[in-house]
Amino acid sequence: MLRYILWRIAMMVPTLIMISILVFTIIELPPGDFFESHIEEMRAIGEKADMEEIEDLKARYGFDKPAPLRYIDWVTKFAMGDFGYSFEYRMPVADVVGDRVWLTVLVSTVTITLTWLIAFPIGIYSATHKYSWGDYGFTLLGLLGIAVPNFILALVMMYFANIWFGTSIGHLMDPSYINEPMSLAKFKSILEHLWIPVLIISTAGTAGMVRRVRANLMDELHKQYVMTARAKGLHPFRTLMKYPFRMSLNFFISDIGSILPSIISGAEITAVVLSLETTGPMLIRALQNQDMYLAGSFLMFLAILTVIGVLVSDIALAILDPRIRLQGGRTK
């Protein structure tokens, strides 16, 4: 196992190098750069851009150099912990991302926890009460949750909140606390606003997980070892939890590779609709404006989390399921 882990860690380096090349290339593909887009935006609103400042930023961050040299400079500084400078926000990338990352982690963590707390009991009930009225009801709700996109649900809730209560449910806090340092009053405001995006974002995830728990557990319940345990008189609850439920968690462990980056990135489209102060809208705007250091560094951070998550899920699968081994062996 240790040899396998060391080999996988070593393979992360070329993988991340290839991802960094791909990220840099995609950001460089559109014609122009952030400065040209900024000049055009200023002209569109009838203002004149500060060309002296723009030329100074270009020279300072190497935009007068060829693309390969800019890539090497960016990757080298990123590896040393310097994530670059956001031209749109006019501050270092680490400062731009800082507060948004913690808010995104809070929303995503609460959402994932709520999803698990709801999905697993319902999935177990549906699998053990197959084709009952309860199973049909949960199946119908699950299909509705999967079919309705989160951003559509967000728009509907915003509309009815405005019509019925005359209030806006956007943002993660009261507008007066935006861009203010963290305080007890600001944290209370965040908690008051948190439940709405959590309910909206968790809808599809909960519905999908219920379906997967039900399908995987039903598949395990029909296997020979479960029938043998029942024939030997093992308690039904222990029969369910000792092996079938444990084996049905393989899909859940496999999802760790996608869960880790989703904790940081969040639901981008829903965050835009609800005007949430998370990293999703920031990333979309950075890609639109070709804010290279902000978009590139954030995407690389997500790539690192994905690679780590895949490694953790592979190791956890080998520990959870005795049928999974790193290499095949002779059958005795």
Q: Kindly report the pTM of this predicted structure.
A: 0.79
**Residue 87 domain-assigned?**
no
Task: Count structural domains, the chain.
Answer: 1
**Residue 22 domain-assigned?**
no
**Residue 293 domain-assigned?**
no
**Residue 299 domain-assigned?**
no
Task: Please determine, for residue 32, whether its predicted confidence score (pLDDT) is greater than 80.
Answer: no
Give the span between the Cα atoms of 263 and 286, in whole angstroms. Answer: 19
**Residue 223 domain-assigned?**
yes
**Residue 7 domain-assigned?**
no
Position 19 confidence tier, pLDDT thresholds 50, 70, 90: very high
Mean pLDDT, rounded, for 78-92: 84
* Mean pLDDT of all residues belonging to the chain: 82
Please give the DSSP secondary-structure letter assigned to residue 175: G
Give the span between the Cα atoms of 168 and 160, in whole angstroms. Answer: 10
What 3-state class would DSSP assign to 153? helix
Task: Please determine, for residue 18, whether its predicted confidence score (pLDDT) is greater than 90.
Answer: yes
Where does the chain have alpha helices with state H? 2-28, 34-44, 51-60, 67-79, 93-128, 133-147, 150-164, 184-221, 224-231, 236-242, 244-247, 250-254, 256-265, 268-274, 279-288, 292-320
CATH number at residue 199: 1.10.3720.10
Mean pLDDT, rounded, for 261-274: 80
Cβ-contact 38, 87 below 8 angstroms:
yes
Which residues constitute the domain of residue 197?
99-288
Q: Give the pair of three-digit tokens for residue 327.
A: 């290499």
**Residue 166 domain-assigned?**
yes
% of the chain with per-residue pLDDT over 90: 5
End-to-end CA separation in angstroms for the chain:
22
Residue bearing the bigger pLDDT, 244 or 38: 244
As to burial, measured by CB atoms within 10 angstroms (0-12 exposed, 13-18 middle, 19+ buried), residue 119 is buried
Mean pLDDT, rounded, for 277-297: 84
**Residue 215 domain-assigned?**
yes
Note the pLDDT tens digit of each residue in 232-250: 888 888 888 877 887 788 7
Note the pLDDT tens digit of each residue in 291-311: 888 888 888 988 888 888 888
- Which strand (E) or helix (H) includes residue 86? strand 85-86
